[in-house]
């Protein structure tokens, strides 16, 4: 049967993707200012290191710096891509990204306040700047959601518009603060371009459960999302509880993006482009699209972050710059190829 | 099969449906006609619970439509809407397969039986050869048949269609209506459709419902509803109605 064949093909592709991801992750551990060989990395991670052959500093770099950072970039990349997939489906809008509900500007505003007032200390293992970013994002989500609510229903156009307006408003506020306190401009700007520089096991622990539970939940609603793409009325006619689904997924997805932003700053492009990339490769069926976006988004982010920390010796490049600078041309190339193929040239 | 009991519906303070009464028998082919803004589409949306009447009640098999769970309702009736969205491309097989949704539990994969039903409806609607194509590469008439195939895959007793032929050329208009008619005759599928073309409505329907300003003006077999006086009153157009060889309405 054709469908069995298709399922098996998809299974093979997903397995391949997973294999590439593991290989890339191991390779990424060896990269950086200090190069560490693959056998050493394997020994360290398996706990077989003895201080005679492997330097203590290497073991520290691998276990406390690189591995948490790599896992965090995989998780954040995967989350952002799945969130983008969900928003694009819910809004039936190819321009939707994880930040449609104002998460990016809300988080940036929170972080700006944190940076300007020099709030220090940690809360639940999160730096105060991250914490304020998370709070800022949550408040914005609630505002956008309330603004877009008419009666018991949320209008998707309403969300898009309210999101744009709130984004503009908060961006203006941030710019104003930056002009007032221009000494801190660097730190604010760097934060808004994203980085995994502060990655730690605590951060990973903080977002791991929300990410896995959230993405898992979204995957169980893949079929409903397929129906939603055809239009809300279509989905209703098929027996999907559209209003409930919309509410739950909107809130869950923005909550996840707030988590992502609070550990890594605003990393653009990934959540917008990765879903489109995999739609071209695997088609629009969300039962396949969600898992491959998760794996593929993670892989993409891992590659970008590895470049971000190893391209320049003197400094680290904010990862948001890499995602767009390298991902952009690659995506445009694919788009051209896809266009030609669908036009039969 | 489906009944509307004195339903009133308004958008804001504009009454779109006024005391609409209607009863559809099983196995009937019914067309709803009327000028633009007469409330045809609103009636249809009330019948499938996309809109809820401010007063009155819609009943399906003697049970209030409000009592149906979403999936239960989707097994009773399928709806083909006027416009379909195609933001992200699905292939035809994937679209038709969506019709099995109401029959499946969460996370349940389609069984061989489900796939067989999909195959069957694709053959029935003449789109089987297109199954690997994507929605954006097929013609309007083919797309409409895909949507009908998806609706049939729900295995409903009742099929509602909202202006299923308004964007199609004459050939596809006939093709889609003929398909509906054969489903109606051979599968005893009850069909209720809104239509703009009076002559096509006359040719294919058992019963025509004529609407005007949110009210049902007349219900009956085509020959009783399509008279020159009624059409003049409702459409404000003078027509000649001839009955041989078919019923035909010719505007002056």
pLDDT in tens, B31-90: 999 999 999 999 999 999 999 999 999 999 989 999 999 999 999 999 998 877 777 889
User: Regarding predicted confidence, which is higher, B220 or A313?
Assistant: B220
> Rounded to whole angstroms, what are the CA distances from A228 to A221, A246, A306?
11, 9, 37
Q: How far is B151 from chain A, CA to nearest CA, in Å?
A: 8
- Which residues from A are below 8 Å from B50, CB to CB? 233, 236-237
pLDDT beyond 90 at B230:
yes
Nearest CA in chain A to B70: A239
CA distance B127 to chain A (A): 16
Domain A13-343 has CATH 3.40.50.150: no
pLDDT of the residue at B35: 94
Q: Return the pLDDT at A224.
A: 95
pLDDT at A315: 85
Tell me the mean pLDDT in the region B184-199: 94
Mean pLDDT, chain B, whole residue set? 92
Q: Which residues of B touch A220 (CB under 8 A)?
A: 106-107
d(CA A3, CA B109): 12
What's the pLDDT at A120?
A: 66
Complex confidence, ipTM: 0.88
- Rounded to a whole number of angstroms, the distance from the CA of B83 to the nearest CA of chain A is 9
Residue spans of the domains in chain A: they are: 13-343
How much is the pLDDT for A345? 43
Q: Which residues of B229-239 are buried (b: 16+ CB within 10 A; e: fewer)?
A: ebbeebbeeeb
Predicted local distance difference test score (pLDDT) of residue A28: 93
B99 contacts on A by Cβ (under 8 Å): 238
pLDDT band per the 50, 70, 90 thresholds, residue B131? very high
Contact B72 A283 (CB under 8 A): no
User: Residue A51: its pLDDT value, please?
Assistant: 65
Identify the pLDDT of residue A21: 95
Inter-CA distances, A74 with A79, A81, A253, A294, Å: 9, 11, 17, 9
Nearest Cα residue to A231 out of B40, B64, B95: B95
Per-residue pLDDT 10s for chain A (345 aa) are 577 788 888 889 899 999 999 999 999 999 888 888 888 888 888 877 666 677 888 888 888 899 999 999 999 999 999 999 999 999 888 888 888 888 889 999 998 998 888 766 666 556 788 889 899 999 998 999 888 888 777 788 888 899 999 999 999 999 999 899 888 888 888 888 888 988 889 889 989 999 999 999 999 999 999 999 998 999 999 999 999 999 899 889 988 998 898 888 899 889 999 999 999 888 899 999 999 999 999 999 999 999 999 888 888 899 999 998 888 888 888 778 777 666 544
**Interchain pair A230, B99: CB under 8 A:** no
Do A88 and B88 count as a contact with CB atoms less than 8 A apart? yes
Residue in A closest to B100 by C-alpha: A238
Please indicate whether, in this complex, the C-beta atoms of A285 and B95 are within 8 angstroms of each other.
no
Task: Say if the Cβ atoms of B98 and A226 lie within 8 Å.
Answer: yes
Burial A238-276 (b: 16+ CB within 10 A, else e): bbbebeebbbebbebbbbbbbbbbbbbbbbbbbbbbbbb
Query: What secondary structure, in 3-state letters, does chain A show?
Result: CHHHHHHHHHHHHHHHHHHHHHHHHHHHHHCCCCCCCHHHHHHHHCCCCCCCCCCHHHHHHHHHHHHHHHHHHHHHHHHHHHHHHHHHHHHCCCCCCCCCCCHHHHHHHHHHHHHHCCCCCEECCEEHHHHHHHHHHHHHHHHHHHHCEECCEECHHHHHHHHHHHHHHHHHHHHHHHHHCHHHHHHHHHHHCCCCCCCCHHHHHHHHHHHHHHHHHHHHCHHHHHHHHCCHHHHHHCCCCHHHHHHHHHHHHHHHHHHHHHHHCCCCCHHHHHHHHHHHHHCCCHHHHHHHHHHHHHHHHHHHHHHHHHCCCCCCCCHHHHHHHHHHHHHHHHHHHHHHHHCCC
> What's the whole-model pTM score?
0.89
Going by pLDDT thresholds of 50, 70 and 90, the confidence category of residue B13 is confident
Pick among A237, A246, A343 to test the B interface (most B CBs inside 10 A) = A237
Q: Considering CB atoms only, which of A2, A241, A284 is closest to B89?
A: A284
């Amino acid at each position: 049967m054709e469908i069995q064949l298709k399922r098996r093909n998809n299974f093979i592709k997903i397995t391949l993707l997973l294999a590439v991801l593991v290989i890339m992750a191991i390779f990424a551990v060896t990269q950086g200012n200090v190069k560490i060989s693959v056998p050493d990395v394997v020994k360290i991670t398996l706990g077989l290191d003895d201080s005679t052959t492997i330097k203590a500093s290497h073991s520290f770099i691998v276990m406390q710096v690189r591995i948490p950072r790599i896992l965090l970039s995989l998780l954040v990349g995967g989350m952002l891509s799945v969130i983008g997939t969900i928003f694009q489906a819910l809004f039936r809008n190819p321009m939707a990204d994880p930040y449609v509900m104002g998460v990016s500007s809300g988080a940036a505003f929170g972080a700006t306040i944190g940076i300007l007032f020099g709030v220090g200390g940690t809360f639940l293992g999160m730096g105060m700047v991250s914490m304020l970013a998370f709070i800022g994002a949550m408040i914005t989500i609630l505002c956008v959601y309330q603004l877009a609510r008419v009666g018991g229903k949320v209008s998707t156009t309403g969300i898009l518009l309210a999101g744009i307006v709130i984004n503009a408003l908060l961006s203006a506020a941030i710019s104003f603060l930056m002009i007032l306190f221009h000494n801190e401009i660097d730190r604010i700007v760097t934060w808004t371009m994203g980085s995994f520089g502060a990655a730690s096991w605590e951060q990973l622990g903080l977002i791991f459960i929300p990410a896995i539970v959230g993405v898992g939940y979204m995957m169980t609603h893949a079929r409903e999302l397929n129906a939603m793409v055809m239009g809300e009325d279509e989905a209703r006619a098929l027996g999907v509880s559209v209003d409930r689904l919309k509410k739950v997924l909107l809130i869950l997805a923005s909550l996840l993006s707030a988590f992502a932003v609070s550990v890594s700053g605003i990393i653009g492009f990934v959540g917008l482009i990765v879903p489109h990339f995999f739609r071209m490769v695997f088609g629009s069926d969300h039962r396949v699209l969600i898992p491959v976006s998760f794996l593929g988004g993670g892989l993409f982010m891992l590659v970008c972050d590895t470049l971000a920390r190893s391209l320049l010796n003197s400094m680290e490049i904010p990862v948001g710059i890499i995602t767009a600078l390298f991902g952009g041309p690659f995506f445009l190339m694919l788009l051209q190829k896809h266009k030609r193929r669908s036009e039969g040239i | 099969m489906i009944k509307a009991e004195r339903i009133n519906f308004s958008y804001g303070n504009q009454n779109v449906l006024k005391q609409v009464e209607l009863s559809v028998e099983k196995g009937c082919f019914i067309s709803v006609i009327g000028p633009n803004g007469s409330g045809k589409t609103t009636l249809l949306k009330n019948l499938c619970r996309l809109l809820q009447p401010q007063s009155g009640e819609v009943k399906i098999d003697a049970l209030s439509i409000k009592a149906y769970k979403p999936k239960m309702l989707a097994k009773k009736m399928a709806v083909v809407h006027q416009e379909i969205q195609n933001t992200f491309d699905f292939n035809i097989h994937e679209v038709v397969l969506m019709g099995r949704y109401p029959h499946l539990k969460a996370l349940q994969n389609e069984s061989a039986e489900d796939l067989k039903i999909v195959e069957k409806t694709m053959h029935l609607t003449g789109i089987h050869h297109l199954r690997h194509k994507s929605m954006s590469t097929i013609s309007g008439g083919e797309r409409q048949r895909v949507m009908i195939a998806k609706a049939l895959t729900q295995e409903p007793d009742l099929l509602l269609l909202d202006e299923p032929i308004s964007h199609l050329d004459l050939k596809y208009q006939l093709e889609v209506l003929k398909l509906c008619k054969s489903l109606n005759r051979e599968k005893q599928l009850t069909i209720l459709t809104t239509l703009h073309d009076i002559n096509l409505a006359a040719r294919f329907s058992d019963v025509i419902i004529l609407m005007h300003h949110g009210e049902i003006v007349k219900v009956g077999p085509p020959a009783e509803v399509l008279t020159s006086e009624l059409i003049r009153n409702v459409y404000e157009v003078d027509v000649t109605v001839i009955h041989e060889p078919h019923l035909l309405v010719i505007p002056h």
